[in-house]
């Protein structure tokens, strides 16, 4: 579970080296609850670089690799990510129960949170056609929460009404993709995920503070 102080997760999609990444993160760490890393880091600084990041910055690290393979590969990846200091992993729901069952149990044993992707901020029509099925699947698997798009507030509301308060809802698509800061929170998300609006800004701290004030007084 991600501890909520601010309601904001940084989508840290950068190809910077670890030194530059750590300096940047230290500048805004008090304003964000978790750092989402993914393919950019894996392909640029590699697993050892990710380990350096998780050792260098004291926060929750979420790996967004949208994992979606057969069971034993999923389980291997989860174990390796745990060794790198990762706290939570985003997985595709679409691979179905058989491929998710074992990994959900393993993750609980390892203390890793699984967040299931059940709708995309752009496109994702196959997901949206099967929303109820995938939400129910996630609740039966005993995962930590779901990834729901800030660009589709009605989906956030629907998922929240289905799962109550026992699951964390993480919402990407805020800012550059069109989601208005605060709207996902107003619709039932626990965390808004923001990347480029912060990373590409001339003044990341000021932008982050203005997003936080929208989350504190959430509306669409
Ligand atoms: O658009 P931004 O730069 O704020 O980044 C959004 C992040 O959220 C990015 O890391 C992307 O991989 C992730 N994400 C989506 O944007 C949409 C989804 O449906 C799922 C994840």
Measured at the alpha carbon of residue 113, what is the angle toward residues 72 and 186, in degrees to the nearest 5?
135
Q: Are 187 and 153 contacting, i.e. CB atoms less than 8 angstroms apart? A: yes
For the question of whether the overall pTM of this predicted structure is more than 0.95, the answer is yes
136 is catalytic: no
From 66, 105, 136, 152, the catalytic residue: 66
Please tell me if the CB atom of residue 155 comes closer than 6 angstroms to any atom of ligand 1.
no
Taking only the tens place, the pLDDT of each residue in 93-137 is 999 999 999 999 999 999 999 999 999 999 999 999 999 999 999
Q: At what angle do helices 71-83 and 97-110 cross, to 10 degrees?
A: 20
| CB-ligand 1 contact for 128 (6 Å cutoff) | no
Average pLDDT value for residue range 71-86: 98
Q: Is 120 in the pocket of ligand 1 (CB under 6 A)?
A: yes
Residue nearest to atom 21 of ligand 1 (CA): 172
């Amino acid at each position: 579970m991600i501890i909520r102080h601010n309601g904001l997760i940084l989508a840290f999609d950068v190809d910077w080296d670890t030194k530059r990444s750590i300096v940047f993160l230290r500048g805004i760490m008090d304003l964000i609850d978790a750092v989402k890393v993914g393919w950019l880091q894996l392909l640029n600084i590699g697993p050892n670089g990710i380990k350096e990041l998780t050792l260098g910055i004291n926060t929750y690290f979420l790996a967004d690799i949208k994992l979606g393979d057969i069971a034993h590969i999923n389980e291997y990846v989860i174990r390796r990510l745990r060794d790198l200091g990762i706290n939570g992993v985003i997985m595709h729901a679409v691979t179905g129960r058989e491929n998710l069952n074992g990994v959900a149990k393993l993750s609980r044993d390892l203390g890793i949170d699984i967040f299931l992707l059940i709708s995309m901020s752009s496109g994702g029509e196959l997901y949206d056609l099967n929303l109820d099925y995938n939400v129910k699947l996630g609740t039966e698997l005993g995962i930590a929460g779901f990834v729901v798009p800030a660009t589709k507030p009605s989906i956030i509301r629907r998922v929240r009404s289905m799962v109550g308060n026992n699951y964390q809802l993480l919402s990407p698509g805020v800012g550059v993709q069109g989601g208005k800061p605060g709207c996902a929170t107003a619709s039932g998300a626990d965390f808004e995920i923001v990347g480029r609006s912060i990373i590409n800004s001339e003044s990341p701290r000021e932008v982050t503070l203005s997003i936080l004030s929208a989350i504190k007084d959430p509306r669409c």
